[in-house]
Structures are given as structure tokens and as C-alpha cells.
Structure 1
Amino acid sequence: MLGKKSILKKLLFWLNLVFALFLVLSIAVKHISAINFTFLSLLSLTVPFFVVGNGLFLIYWLLGKNRKALVSGLALFLGFLFLGPVFRIGTHQSDGDSKGISLMTFNVRGFNEFNQLDIPDIDSLIVDFIETENPDILCLQEAPHILKSHKSKLLLNYDYKYIDYVYGEPTNRVILGIYSKYPILDNQIIDFPKSHNSAMFSDILIGSDTLRLFNIHLESFKIRPEVRTIQKANSNKLFVRLNKVVAKQLEQAEILEEHLNATALPKIVVGDFNNTQFSNVYQTIKGDMSDTFLEKGKGFGKTYSLLNYPMRIDYILTDDSFDIIDHKNFDVKLSDHYPVQAILRLE
């Protein structure tokens, strides 16, 4: 007869195998036809969870000097090799003497228009935060109509702006905005079919050079980050909805990829991708561009919190025309997203 400890160890090992298998399957997501198997792309949302789980299993087996540690050890090694880090140890020292372009992206969730956060005067707090950080270029997603007003304190710092009315001007609702201290030469909206989401780009003059800045907001999963909301959701309906959202995101990513490939200008892509760095969606847009967090960030790089589960779904990407001087994630609770800033130098 097997003892209780022996049975428990067998169960733990089987659970360990499941965690390792799902992590390895997540690696395969980047190498399959995402359009035909969108449900597999959902695995990318859970990669940090399975990384932490495998890490705990690895420590457990190592403490017991058990060879079963090889299972999670191999899965974690493959994950790091093919997916990149979940956590980054920032060892760099930013060069304070180097001048560059400061660029911030922030999904402000309507400046708490519908009181999603029980914090008074969030709109003023957000404006004060941005004014304190004072980025040279500011990209907002889910920004309200108030920012169109010339009376807005925030606009006084920016001589150039471009705002996109996704829902139509009569509703007084704005979804995307680019604010710049540098001249904006040209603008364009990138409409996504059958979606309230969109992207935009502005050609910005920096000295004698022109760069193209893309501000994007991909299809949302529309999951409120509260336990009670997720617990009430029907699991089958939730899976179907998530699957449809990923399919839309992939379609939108391919549209953006065409626009990115169509220009020879130096390129920056920022915004709310609504998906992780382990997804086909992210990989399609990123291509061979650099992720400022992976180059100069530290920690988990959290830009969104779901049930206190740190997720990185907002990004700043650059092509090789730029030198990435610094990257910063701000831990300020002013929205369901957290702002991201990078310092870049056009080479």
C-alpha cells in the first residue's frame, strides 16, 4: 500500500507535468497558424502563472534533492529561451547626461468617467501626474472629450495634438490622442473593421528628422478586474468570447503590420495591445522591433492588474533607428492600466 506522502508526491508530480506541458504549449503558440487555432493563443495570457507554478515546483523538488526537478527546470529553460523573461532584473544605470525624447503611453480609462475607482478627482490626479512627468510626447488611450478643450491644463504643455473620435464627435467621447511638443506634420486614422477600437499614426518632426509614431488600442477582452465579476461569468461563454477577441486582435495586428511595413520612416509603436508579450498578437506587431522594457526595464513591468496578477499589455516598441536610453513603469493607481515611459534617442 502506498503511504499518504507517496500518494501526495505522485499527485504533485502529475500536477507538475500539467504545468510544464502548458508552459511548453505556450511556446508552440508562436509557431502555429494563429488564425486557425485562436484558442491556443489564449495560453499566452497565462504564461506568467505557469512560470511561477513551475518555479515553485522546481524549488520543491530541488529541496528534496529529487530528479523530478528536471521537468520544471527544462520547461522554464525552454520558456526563457523562446518566450523571453517574465521578470527582468534591471542592472543598467540610465545616462542622466544623455538627452533624448521622453515618450509616455497611458490608458486612462476615461479619466474614471464612470467612477470605476473609488478615488475622488482622478481626472485632476492624472493631469497632475502627467504634468509632473512632463513627457515630450504623450499617447493616451480611452481619453475623454475633456482633453479636446483648450481650457484643459494638460494641453497647455503641448503645441501639437491629434485626437481620434472613434464613437463619433456628437457623443463627446475620444478614444485616442497624441500630444507632442514637436511639430506634427501628418496624421492618419487606422480603422479596424467591425470594432470600436482603432489605431492612429502621426509623423513628427524631430530636428531635421521625421519619425512615424503609432498609437494603438486593440480589441479589449472587456473583463473587469474584480473577483465577483469573473466568478459570475459562465465559463463556456467566457471562453467563446475570449476566443473571438483574440481572433479580432490577430486581424487588427495584421492590419498594423501592413502599415508598419509600408513606411521607411523611423518607427515607434505604443499603446494598449490587450495581450501579453507571449502572444501572436504582440509578435506580429513587434516583428524585429525592440521592446523598451526588455531592453531597459526591470521587475515584472506591470501595466495591468487582474486579481493582483501582474500583466504587461501596454508597450513601447522602436525600430533600430532609435537608441533606448531608459524605460520606466509607474506604480500609480489612477486607472486599470499603469503608465509606461521610455527615453529614446534618434540615431
Structure 2
Amino acid sequence: MGIRVLVKLLDVVGGMITMIPSILAVGGFLAFRLHPARQMELQWLGLFLPLILGVNILLIFYWVARKKWWFVIPLFAVLLNIPYLSAVFQWPFKQTEPAGRELKVASYNIRQGGIGEISVVSRELSAFMVDEKVDILCLQEFPSAGEAQSKWIEELSGFLPYYVADSSSLPAMQVALFSRYPILRSQRITFPDKSSNRAMWAELDIDGQVVKVYNVHLQTTNLNQNRIRPSDDIDRATSRIIRLKDMMDVNGVIRARQADMIREMIDGSTSPVILCGDFNDTPASYAYRRIKGDMEDSFRSCGKGYGYTYRYLKKLFRIDYIFYSGEVFRGTRYYSPELEYSDHKPVIVTLDVDLTPLSSRGRN
């Protein structure tokens, strides 16, 4: 009799403990909706949501195996975060209809010109994009000037003759856009908060219709600059952790403001939109939700398996995206190969293009 009471007591204690990761998962869900300036703590829960949900899934299996009703609590937490889960995992065997009129778009953070000798990296990456038959290429952390920039332009413009590269001499991380289609006009987007990150938009003439392409690089996390090293003692490691948290809090708020700015510009566009970029934020973030708005996320549309684009940190995080206007474009193929030129993976998306609705709606 005493053993049965003890087992029941342990189940109750286990159930109470089960509530902790479930509550954290609810906080991660709310991070998607609340501006970081109002509730920064929730943004941290959003960042660690893959691990939090993993714990909840294990608890579901544990309580189901025990035939205890406590499984309902972590199940609710997981179901609540289905929007996030669908943004990082898609059924690996799903099929999509092939594109009739193809437009292939690529986005890649090349980490300030790429890892390795510039002439080799630019040549090899250009050959890769040629093989992929890319029509529009958006690059982040593009060399700002000098021989490195010239080498990249020389290699890429051979098959994508129209390009816009921010040639400012400012110490900023530039963005560049290369296109097979004529660029009608373009504009640099300079973020407030003294951010060194940049964005731009360009209007392309695609078969007589104007399509607005955004290339966005949101505020960096400064994670690499403040990561703990094996040689650090306890005091130094603690100092790095505190400094990293403070910097990530500040940068999270900056990214949210940048996302608000980009969203306002998209809302003012009269042309269909394609948006490429490195957000430095996950699909659980305010920045992701704000910029995406009613656009389609290409990974959700046609991605397969687990989607990650940052090659470090155990390959847990998807922070690079291609969004598009769903009324004009349809994603048919999402491809993110494991290239070694950067700490990011490129994102390559094939879109099925239907420009006929534009004229009927009187769009430019």
C-alpha cells in the first residue's frame, strides 16, 4: 500500500515538473507575437524553442508509455507551436507540381566574401549558380569595395548581367543583387540605430512586368565575437556570457525595428514582392512574423525535412529566408545545399510564375 502511494506521489511530482518545459514552450509561442522591446525574455525562449519542444515531445512519449494523463500538458504545448514546427520541418516525401514558367531565386550570406581565397570562392560559387540556372541572386556581406568586390562582380555578371552592389566605403556589411532580368531602379535601405547592416530593393522587368525584390540583412547577433573559448577561465567565461546576453538583447530590439521598417515598405509596394535575406533570427521571432506578413515562406511551401541554414550551433537554426507574393508566385522546389564557403547555407528556390493576374488588377 505504501509503495502505491509513493508511486502516485512521484507521478504528481513528475507531472508538476512536466509543466515547466510546457510553460516555457508557451513563452516561446508568445515570442513570435510580442515586440522584443516589450518582452525580451520571451525572445530567448523563442531562440531555444527547438530544445524546449524536443523535451516536451520526449515527455509525451514518457507519459503515454506510463498511460498517464499528464501527456496532455506537453501535447498542448507542442500543438500550440505547430506554426513554428511547420517553419522548420516539412514532410520529407511531399510532392509539388512542377513549374510551368520557372524563376529561380537564390539568397546567400557569403560571410564577407567567403571562406578561402576570394578568386577561388567567387569562381566556384559562380559556377555553382550557373549549374543551378539561377535567375536572381541576392548576396549578403558582399565585399564593400576594392579587388574582392571587383572579382565577385566579374565572375557573377558573366551570366547575371544586371546587378546592384552597394559600393559605399562605409565600414558596413553590404548587400548585392544580380539578375538575369533588367533592373529598372533600385534603392539602398539604411537602417537606423547606427546599424552596420544593410538592405536594398530593386525593381526588375520580368517579361514586361515589374517585380520588386528585397535583399535584407538584419542586425547581427555578435555571437561569434563573444562565444566561450576552451581557454577561458570561469571569470572570463562568465563575463563573455553576460556581455553576449546584453548584446543579443540590444540587437534583438534593433532587428525588430528593422523588421517594422521593411514591413512598412512592403505594404506600400504596388508590385508583387520577392524577399531574400539573412534575418539572424529564427521562425519563432517577432522579426520573422513581422516581415513575412501575408507572404509565403518558400520552405513551408516546398521545403522537405528539417530546415536549417546556419551551419554551426549543431545545425539547429533556420535564419535565412526567401518569401514571395503568393498571388503571383508558387514555390515548387526548395534547395539549401551544404556548401563550405560560409557559415551559412545558400537558399535556392524555384518559383512558378503567373503574371497574368497583374494586368487584370491594374498593377504596375
TM-score by length of 1: 0.87
Q: Using the alignment, how far apart are the partners of 1:174 and 1:29 within structure 2?
A: 27
Q: Using the alignment, how far apart are the partners of 1:257 and 1:81 within structure 2?
A: 20
Secondary structure of the equivalent of 1:135?
Answer: coil
Which one is further off, 151-160 or 250-259? 151-160
**What are the within-5 Å matches in structure 2 for residues 194-233 of structure 1?**
194-224=194-224, 228-229=228-229, 232=237
Q: Relative to 1, partners in 2 of residues 1:222 and 1:6: Cα closer, same or farther, differing over 3 Å? A: farther
Q: Using the alignment, how far apart are the partners of 2:282 and 2:12 within structure 1?
A: 33
Q: Using the alignment, how far apart are the partners of 2:153 and 2:78 within structure 1?
A: 52
1:248 aligns with 2:247: no
The residue that corresponds to 1:301 in the other structure is 307
**1:167–1:174 CA contact under 8 A, matched in 2:** no
Secondary structure of the equivalent of 1:152?
Answer: helix
| Superposed CA RMSD | 3.1
TM-fit CA distance, 1:207: 0.3
The residue that corresponds to 1:236 in the other structure is 242
**2:226–2:243 CA contact under 8 A, matched in 1:** no
Q: Using the alignment, how far apart are the partners of 1:212 and 1:70 within structure 2?
A: 46
TM-fit CA distance, 1:58: 1.2
Q: Using the alignment, how far apart are the partners of 1:92 and 1:257 within structure 2?
A: 31
Q: Using the alignment, how far apart are the partners of 1:247 and 1:324 within structure 2?
A: 31
The residue that corresponds to 1:311 in the other structure is 317
**2:198–2:218 CA contact under 8 A, matched in 1:** yes
TM-fit CA distance, 1:47: 1.4
Q: Please, which runs of 5 or more residues in structure 2 have no aligned partner? A: 355-364
**1:138–1:178 CA contact under 8 A, matched in 2:** yes
Q: Please, which runs of 5 or more residues in structure 1 have no aligned partner? A: none
**What are the within-5 Å matches in structure 2 for residues 1-347 of structure 1?**
13-80=15-82, 84-96=86-98, 98-112=100-114, 121-144=120-143, 145=145, 146-149=148-151, 152-165=154-167, 167-168=169-170, 175-193=174-192, 194-224=194-224, 228-229=228-229, 232=237, 234-319=240-325, 320-347=327-354
Q: Relative to 1, partners in 2 of residues 1:331 and 1:85: Cα closer, same or farther, differing over 3 Å? A: same
TM-fit CA distance, 1:27: 1.6
Secondary structure of the equivalent of 2:69?
Answer: coil
TM-fit CA distance, 1:175: 1.8
**2:204–2:211 CA contact under 8 A, matched in 1:** yes
Secondary structure of the equivalent of 2:88?
Answer: coil
- Report the number of matched residues: 341
Q: Using the alignment, how far apart are the partners of 1:76 and 1:174 within structure 2?
A: 37
Secondary structure of the equivalent of 1:179?
Answer: strand
Q: Using the alignment, how far apart are the partners of 1:87 and 1:132 within structure 2?
A: 27
**2:310–2:319 CA contact under 8 A, matched in 1:** yes
Secondary structure of the equivalent of 1:157?
Answer: coil
Q: What letter matches 2:320 in structure 1?
A: D
Q: What letter matches 1:333 in structure 2?
A: E
Q: What letter matches 2:346 in structure 1?
A: P
Q: Using the alignment, how far apart are the partners of 1:151 and 1:80 within structure 2?
A: 42
Identity across matched positions, percent: 26
Q: Using the alignment, how far apart are the partners of 1:305 and 1:9 within structure 2?
A: 40
Provide, for residues 302-321 of structure 1, a one-character-per-residue CA deviation record: whole Å limited to 9, x for no partner: 11134214211111111122
Q: Using the alignment, how far apart are the partners of 2:328 and 2:166 within structure 1?
A: 27
TM-fit CA distance, 1:39: 3.2
Secondary structure of the equivalent of 2:200?
Answer: strand
TM-fit CA distance, 1:332: 2.5
TM-fit CA distance, 1:226: 9.9
Which one is further off, 96-105 or 76-85? 76-85
Rg larger in structure = 2
Provide, for residues 67-91 of structure 1, a one-character-per-residue CA deviation record: whole Å limited to 9, x for no partner: 2211111111111157745311144
Q: Using the alignment, how far apart are the partners of 2:311 and 2:45 within structure 1?
A: 17
Secondary structure of the equivalent of 2:311?
Answer: strand
TM-fit CA distance, 1:218: 0.2
TM-score by length of 2: 0.84
Secondary structure of the equivalent of 1:312?
Answer: coil
Q: What letter matches 2:161 in structure 1?
A: D
Q: What letter matches 2:75 in structure 1?
A: G
